[in-house]
Structure 1
């Protein structure tokens, strides 16, 4: 009898749990998320008093018609209730995107807003408007002596004296070509000389005019020299703290780069309008030339980068196999030592490799991007570090600039990757990534040279380099404390699917974990560094705002243990709607699946519970995340939240759902990140095939009832799966997919596949359009017609290919008003009704 009672109790408990899951529909989960899910806080930043937290939020719910988020604040000295910020107060606040620019005493803060500059007196709490102009002022910085503000207007540098308000123009760039003083031809020159020789009055007038010009020039205030750029664009202008030089880069627009267009058939005008879009991969690129303007000498000089070690190196795929084995590599990378002696040796080594590969000195220097210099302070203000990156993204050099000899750069560190340089904190294009000064001689930066993105310090005078973090995890964000004694690091060392905040001394050593909750913690330290505001989410809980506060007294923590000196966390917002909370959203199981090469594939598994009203049916769907370099098999709220809700709906119908972090996903280090080099649809696809086989072997899935879907890169993988492994996947939905990588953009594609005219093999084996003949199962293609990222042309070309191949088991659903990321709820509903119908009918 007791056994029967316990069974009945369990049954009632189970039914009660399942009663927490009202029936989901496509209309429900794809409606306006503000009305259904709620709006999570975002753009979190601190007030300078360290007592107020600001964030964007929209807690209005379904009953009000708020078109967008508003700025809210929480006063930590009050009842901590979120309050909407008034327009008057908002005008004076920095935005959350602003880089925090304090003076050394941290008594003043400088910021840009609405294209003007502002100075905040932190002690008095007053804001001073420094500029109010039609033209935009940007890139503000305190001068080396902190008596002035240096800023950019229309590519030129200006200096605003904080005491007097006087503005001095420091540079005068002119896009024209420099006038040629010898332009007159022989006839004109002879006539001028003859005229002056014949007539005394003309000679006298000329002498008086020239004397007057000299007198006026000597009396007039000094003006900056006109620097003619010959049509090139000025970028990254920066004044050294000692005021001696201005560094800047000149970028010449590429010629012959054809820009694509996207027709908009649903324009308000009633006409078809062409939207300007991007170029395609392989188009000519802009490149930079580094320049120095010596103010005292009134001279602009070019900084030669011709001696950068490896500047002429071609990628390994273009070189004989015998040559490419000569360099010391870690995970396919070259790390160059940092001392001058080692740098010279590395340069010699590179030259040897170059000459043997290219048989002569005719190899051309590769084009480069150059970052804004990061200047040292105080006695070392003559020094700056900057990043030079090859346009082909296979080399990154960190260089030292000295204003005593500004046209000669010293190599500090070189990172080479025969795939492409990347990873958290590494930067890209003209960005420097994580880079700064710890003291007058020491810089810090991130490098992926040991296979994972870690933090390093380096003495710029001795070349001594020290690795500050190490292990099979990534340092994903770095903040240096105000006193430059402590790093605050966000890493995924607990688990690749978790993000936590740590504290670590600048010398390295033990890290103390500050956050505790399983999931992701996006932490923002208060200006006085005694409090942490952070957004937190779990896999089945959207983002909310939390607070941690430092105890006045607390013990020291140990490595990878929680620091007991912090109190909290305290939840400050509740953003989800009651309707959303009424459903018991599943927490997917995060696990690993063995790939065929022995590597672990991290995955999220959703499946019906054994006692669920709808049992597992043997049907499975694999979801493929987009972007390629992105992480989704994690323990926090997915940016694919609509897909997450759809997966809950599928499980309610008896499906098992799996999504994996396939090869090239973020969070797992360099080898995983570059695992698709020269072959998209290679290991990233076999990871999905291995996952499908794992479902069959371990989860009771019918091998003939597995579907696959995804958007963007996920759409591409879906096409490759349906075309090249048609016996594994019986139905697939490819959303906004790339069908031919030669039609995609340069910055992303050339990293992975090089350029189509140089590496035809990579593009042929990676582009679905060349494999469409293999289609067997049923395919759905959905694409926005005003997609300026992956153009609708991709879908059109594949359509014609399928027609010519006489395939009949496919359909195309076009969406006339949608870009790459769908916006309209009706579009989402239509798309996912079609996806659900595909799986219900074909699986």
Structure 2
């Protein structure tokens, strides 16, 4: 079996000058300011000579802005005056590289790159975003909410690109027999109408001849609401996304704040449960702003839009309902003739224009989560043209949906899982798709170089747990490795494309900033934000191990925390949250407190195993979708394989193995104790889902479909359905104001245990914590109780 060691930075490996005090719970659960803040949101200065980044201020949630020379030196924290003069984030450049636009405090600024002169384009209380130059560099467009403006770079006032009104056009008269009768009867009424028509015609003529006037409104109808808009760079076209105004969100669950400033209990609305109202279908409208014309874009031509991927499940459920005499419920589950869609804009842009504004691509997703389409718009015929369909019998990934245009304005690029792994593709409008990358590894975060010749991507090509930046020609070819950090978290390309600012980290080093040439040369670090007391400690390096699946799934990667001979020792399995999350990697973990807790356990003689069970991110489509309609089952198989591996390979005591985790990890702790009683000596379930019917729609319906349509999947996957099997000690911990997994999940399960006359279960509630705890006192109390449970149940046998 192959065992791979995680490598720490040299600075951590060096012996400290003064021995650090013994590790204790108070320290590791304290405010993480003692560790040192992670570098956040780096971006390049407009001239490419410096990099800006943010750091959390000690003892405060405030983020300070820093600037450091790209060549190295001492970072400078900017005072409020310097922040007011700093380059803003996400600068964009015109094609000739004469001007740059950026955002500062929600306003738009434009800089002449030759003279350095900077013009403030907006000064408003609104938040502007998405600045973009037209291909010829004459115009700058930007948005505030769904309203777009156009500014002439040569000077002049900004003007609205379009005025959208979600109401009926007052100039359009509806047929009305009574009104027609009055017009025939009364000459005065006929004259008044004629006068109104003449005034409107004159106003329209004046507006058409005067470019200085605001544009004529587009009336979208009173029955819709605007969800999103997107303006072409040349301000010729606009796409408008709408949904029905009367779309119902469903009944919203409430939670209660018991500790408040007022002294009274106060309620807070959260979200509907899954399936209590599907997302509202969306529609697309194309606006020709120059000719003031509007066209509805029909989605019924998308390939497969009339299919019913859930036909077999639907038939079984409908038959069961009819047999039970529930004809109305059965009728409500009838398949639509055309599946409703939404613009897939939550985790990707949704709508992307070519640089010249002549072409636009839209990414659409079926509400049943089984299809994703990338379509372009034929501007002459005003129709959608499907360019790529990704279909999945389980569900379309919410990640890896990036797409855009090459600089030729005629070639689409996109990420797709069609090969089983997220890879980069390109397709010219008049040709076939071509894979730019290939392999059994993941590719994400594609960034096109300024000259359009090269893509830079993040990938785990070397090993599933090792991430770096790679480059590949935009015409396709071999991936060339640019960085060699193995723990590469994010990157941003310099304005000239010759360098990258990267955030990299390692198991005990929070994300730090470095700059490296785009060819991979000249890497140098710019920050080290760790505090001396933290750096002085010698942490236990997690070893990345490969555990064979006994269920045909292949290799399960895991982190092993251990020292010396483990024979006869107790062990703990830690289960990461989110389901689709990767925690076995060489970067700084989101679970950094838990990692320090694992150090504490190892110092007391434990072995700790942290596994990327099936459903985890980073291992391809099949690993992700293995849990479809069956949550908690393949993952438990993997966890039990991990326990067996600890016993056979390291000799841990099988009677003294505990398990714990939060959120999805809490759910899996419940499934482990309830579906495999006797396997674990104790478990701690933090903020766990106990009944998937009460979780949110977007996440749950992907994996389990709607509960009305697929009740079997919910019954199979919900721990509360297995409550009668509880035999091993269980600690449940939950924040009372958790608006993600509601505390009612734990309270309902607790009541179920009461009714079943179960013993050895406890619950600890935290009145001022949401899903992710933020107060050190709560962190300490939470983990003190977990530690006490393990001491009592794993150490005293």
TM-score by length of structure 1 reads: 0.84
Whole-Å separation in 2 of the counterparts to 1:731 and 1:18: 40
Q: String of CA shifts for 1:138-188, please: whole Å, max 9, x gaps.
A: 333223543222233453333222334233333222223455965686455
Whole-Å separation in 1 of the counterparts to 2:204 and 2:170: 20
Whole-Å separation in 2 of the counterparts to 1:744 and 1:66: 32
CA contact (8 A) 2:168 2:219 kept: no
Whole-Å separation in 2 of the counterparts to 1:17 and 1:383: 60
Whole-Å separation in 2 of the counterparts to 1:18 and 1:127: 50
1:534 offset after TM fit, Å?
A: 1.8
* Match of residue 363 from structure 1: 337
CA contact (8 A) 1:604 1:658 kept: yes
* Match of residue 421 from structure 2: 452
Q: Which residue of 53, 57, 81 maps to 1:88?
A: 81
Whole-Å separation in 1 of the counterparts to 2:126 and 2:487: 44
CA contact (8 A) 1:601 1:660 kept: yes
CA contact (8 A) 1:536 1:543 kept: yes
Aligned residue runs from structure 1 range 503-542, under 5 A: 503-520=471-488, 522-542=490-510
Whole-Å separation in 2 of the counterparts to 1:521 and 1:362: 42
Q: String of CA shifts for 1:498-538, please: whole Å, max 9, x gaps.
A: 11111221122222212123433533332223333222222
* Match of residue 261 from structure 1: 254
Whole-Å separation in 2 of the counterparts to 1:273 and 1:94: 43
Describe the SS at the equivalent of 1:266: coil
Whole-Å separation in 1 of the counterparts to 2:17 and 2:159: 71
Instruction: Evaluate the alpha carbon distance shift between residue 238 and residue 369 of structure 1 in structure 2; reply closer, same or farther with a 3 A threshold.
Output: closer
Q: Does 1:71 align with 2:71?
A: no
1:545 offset after TM fit, Å?
A: 2.2
* Match of residue 224 from structure 1: 216
Instruction: Evaluate the alpha carbon distance shift between residue 214 and residue 576 of structure 1 in structure 2; reply closer, same or farther with a 3 A threshold.
Output: closer
* Match of residue 133 from structure 2: 142
Instruction: Evaluate the alpha carbon distance shift between residue 18 and residue 733 of structure 1 in structure 2; reply closer, same or farther with a 3 A threshold.
Output: farther
Whole-Å separation in 2 of the counterparts to 1:56 and 1:377: 31
CA contact (8 A) 1:423 1:453 kept: no
Count, aligned residues: 752
Instruction: Evaluate the alpha carbon distance shift between residue 673 and residue 837 of structure 1 in structure 2; reply closer, same or farther with a 3 A threshold.
Output: same
* Match of residue 601 from structure 1: 556
Q: String of CA shifts for 1:337-367, please: whole Å, max 9, x gaps.
A: xxxxxxxxxxxxxxxxxxxxxxx99723333
Q: Does 1:440 align with 2:398?
A: no
* Match of residue 132 from structure 1: 123
Describe the SS at the equivalent of 2:109: strand
Describe the SS at the equivalent of 1:409: strand
Q: Does 1:416 align with 2:394?
A: no
1:59 offset after TM fit, Å?
A: 7.5
Whole-Å separation in 2 of the counterparts to 1:469 and 1:382: 28
1:58 offset after TM fit, Å?
A: 4.7
Whole-Å separation in 2 of the counterparts to 1:737 and 1:362: 35
* Match of residue 521 from structure 2: 566
Q: Which residue of 585, 592, 598 maps to 2:546?
A: 592
Instruction: Evaluate the alpha carbon distance shift between residue 245 and residue 548 of structure 1 in structure 2; reply closer, same or farther with a 3 A threshold.
Output: closer
Instruction: Evaluate the alpha carbon distance shift between residue 275 and residue 386 of structure 1 in structure 2; reply closer, same or farther with a 3 A threshold.
Output: same
Instruction: Evaluate the alpha carbon distance shift between residue 205 and residue 635 of structure 1 in structure 2; reply closer, same or farther with a 3 A threshold.
Output: closer
1:649 offset after TM fit, Å?
A: 0.2
Describe the SS at the equivalent of 1:109: strand
Aligned residue runs from structure 1 range 298-317, under 5 A: 298-316=292-310
CA contact (8 A) 2:469 2:488 kept: no
Whole-Å separation in 1 of the counterparts to 2:616 and 2:196: 71
Instruction: Evaluate the alpha carbon distance shift between residue 167 and residue 691 of structure 1 in structure 2; reply closer, same or farther with a 3 A threshold.
Output: same
Quick check: which has more Rg, 1 or 2? Answer: 1
Q: String of CA shifts for 1:61-116, please: whole Å, max 9, x gaps.
A: xxxx5553311111246x610111122232344555x4x42211223222334333
CA contact (8 A) 2:109 2:121 kept: yes
1:671 offset after TM fit, Å?
A: 0.4
Gaps (5+ residues) in structure 2? 1-12, 317-333
1:620 offset after TM fit, Å?
A: 0.3
Q: Which residue of 754, 763, 768 maps to 2:719?
A: 768
* Match of residue 394 from structure 1: 370
Whole-Å separation in 1 of the counterparts to 2:462 and 2:342: 37
Whole-Å separation in 2 of the counterparts to 1:697 and 1:516: 35
* Match of residue 327 from structure 2: none
Gaps (5+ residues) in structure 1? 1-13, 323-359, 427-432, 551-562
Q: String of CA shifts for 1:299-330, please: whole Å, max 9, x gaps.
A: 322111111111122224636999xxxxxxxx
Instruction: Evaluate the alpha carbon distance shift between residue 748 and residue 777 of structure 1 in structure 2; reply closer, same or farther with a 3 A threshold.
Output: same
Describe the SS at the equivalent of 1:750: helix
CA contact (8 A) 1:478 1:489 kept: yes
Whole-Å separation in 2 of the counterparts to 1:67 and 1:172: 39
CA contact (8 A) 2:274 2:697 kept: yes
Instruction: Evaluate the alpha carbon distance shift between residue 18 and residue 781 of structure 1 in structure 2; reply closer, same or farther with a 3 A threshold.
Output: farther
Whole-Å separation in 1 of the counterparts to 2:293 and 2:309: 37
Whole-Å separation in 2 of the counterparts to 1:174 and 1:586: 61
1:645 offset after TM fit, Å?
A: 0.1
CA contact (8 A) 2:683 2:730 kept: yes
Aligned residue runs from structure 1 range 687-698, under 5 A: 687-698=638-649
CA contact (8 A) 1:520 1:537 kept: yes
Instruction: Evaluate the alpha carbon distance shift between residue 589 and residue 811 of structure 1 in structure 2; reply closer, same or farther with a 3 A threshold.
Output: same
Q: String of CA shifts for 1:725-744, please: whole Å, max 9, x gaps.
A: 01111100000001110100
Whole-Å separation in 2 of the counterparts to 1:581 and 1:804: 51
Stretch deviating more after TM superposition (212-221 or 761-770): 212-221
Stretch deviating more after TM superposition (287-296 or 203-212): 203-212
Q: Does 1:190 align with 2:196?
A: no
Stretch deviating more after TM superposition (258-267 or 662-671): 258-267
Q: Which residue of 21, 31, 54 maps to 2:52?
A: 54
* Match of residue 350 from structure 1: none
Describe the SS at the equivalent of 1:566: coil
Stretch deviating more after TM superposition (266-275 or 296-305): 296-305
Q: Which residue of 147, 157, 161 maps to 2:148?
A: 157
Whole-Å separation in 1 of the counterparts to 2:60 and 2:128: 32
Instruction: Evaluate the alpha carbon distance shift between residue 157 and residue 216 of structure 1 in structure 2; reply closer, same or farther with a 3 A threshold.
Output: same
CA contact (8 A) 2:659 2:669 kept: yes
CA contact (8 A) 2:547 2:645 kept: yes
* Match of residue 345 from structure 1: none
Q: Which residue of 457, 460, 469 maps to 1:489?
A: 457
Instruction: Evaluate the alpha carbon distance shift between residue 321 and residue 206 of structure 1 in structure 2; reply closer, same or farther with a 3 A threshold.
Output: closer
Whole-Å separation in 1 of the counterparts to 2:707 and 2:21: 51
Instruction: Evaluate the alpha carbon distance shift between residue 440 and residue 696 of structure 1 in structure 2; reply closer, same or farther with a 3 A threshold.
Output: same
Describe the SS at the equivalent of 1:160: strand
* Match of residue 343 from structure 1: none
Instruction: Evaluate the alpha carbon distance shift between residue 208 and residue 250 of structure 1 in structure 2; reply closer, same or farther with a 3 A threshold.
Output: closer
Instruction: Evaluate the alpha carbon distance shift between residue 586 and residue 320 of structure 1 in structure 2; reply closer, same or farther with a 3 A threshold.
Output: same
1:752 offset after TM fit, Å?
A: 0.4
Whole-Å separation in 2 of the counterparts to 1:135 and 1:388: 29
Instruction: Evaluate the alpha carbon distance shift between residue 232 and residue 110 of structure 1 in structure 2; reply closer, same or farther with a 3 A threshold.
Output: farther
Q: Which residue of 230, 242, 245 maps to 1:250?
A: 242
Describe the SS at the equivalent of 1:672: helix
Q: String of CA shifts for 1:587-646, please: whole Å, max 9, x gaps.
A: 111011111223100000111224xxxx76520000000010111111221110000000
Q: Which residue of 461, 473, 493 maps to 2:430?
A: 461
Q: String of CA shifts for 1:383-409, please: whole Å, max 9, x gaps.
A: 22221111222111111213222x212
Q: String of CA shifts for 1:788-812, please: whole Å, max 9, x gaps.
A: 0001111111111010011121100
Whole-Å separation in 2 of the counterparts to 1:128 and 1:523: 29
TM-score by length of structure 2 reads: 0.89
* Match of residue 29 from structure 2: 30
Whole-Å separation in 2 of the counterparts to 1:401 and 1:67: 45
Q: Does 1:375 align with 2:353?
A: yes
CA contact (8 A) 1:740 1:794 kept: yes
Instruction: Evaluate the alpha carbon distance shift between residue 140 and residue 522 of structure 1 in structure 2; reply closer, same or farther with a 3 A threshold.
Output: closer
